[in-house]
């Protein structure tokens, strides 16, 4: 509603629901979408599994998602992560 006192209009590039993910949250959700387990994501990002879980909890809260699969679906729908293709399924960049 334009012109309503106290109400800010969303930016054009803002997600429709929830808030924009941080770069690390986006990376973790992308790897989750590709089918990786928490342990594998932790190894690929050189962090602990607890840190991965923390990023996922934060991403779920920002997206207002009820579950991890819901977070993936919302992030995909909002264009915050890339769709998974056969070539990216299961591939983890290890920095080597």
Q: Where are the domains of the chain?
A: 23-77
The reported pTM is 0.74
pLDDT of residue 67: 97
Q: How confident is the model over 7-61, as pLDDT tens digits?
A: 444 445 544 556 899 999 999 999 999 999 999 999 999 999 999 999 999 999 9
DSSP letter, residue 67: S
CA atoms within 13 A on the CB side of 81: 25
- How is domain 23-77 classified at the CATH fold level? Arc Repressor Mutant, subunit A (1.10.10)
């Amino acid at each position: 509603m334009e012109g309503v006192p106290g109400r800010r209009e969303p930016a054009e590039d803002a997600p429709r629901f929830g808030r924009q993910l941080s770069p690390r949250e986006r990376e973790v959700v992308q790897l989750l979408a590709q089918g990786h387990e928490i342990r594998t994501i932790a190894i690929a990002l050189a962090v602990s599994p607890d840190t991965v879980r923390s990023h996922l909890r934060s991403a779920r809260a920002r997206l207002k998602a009820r579950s991890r699969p819901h977070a993936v679906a919302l992030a995909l729908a909002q264009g915050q992560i890339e769709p998974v293709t056969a070539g990216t399924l299961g591939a983890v960049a290890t920095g080597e």
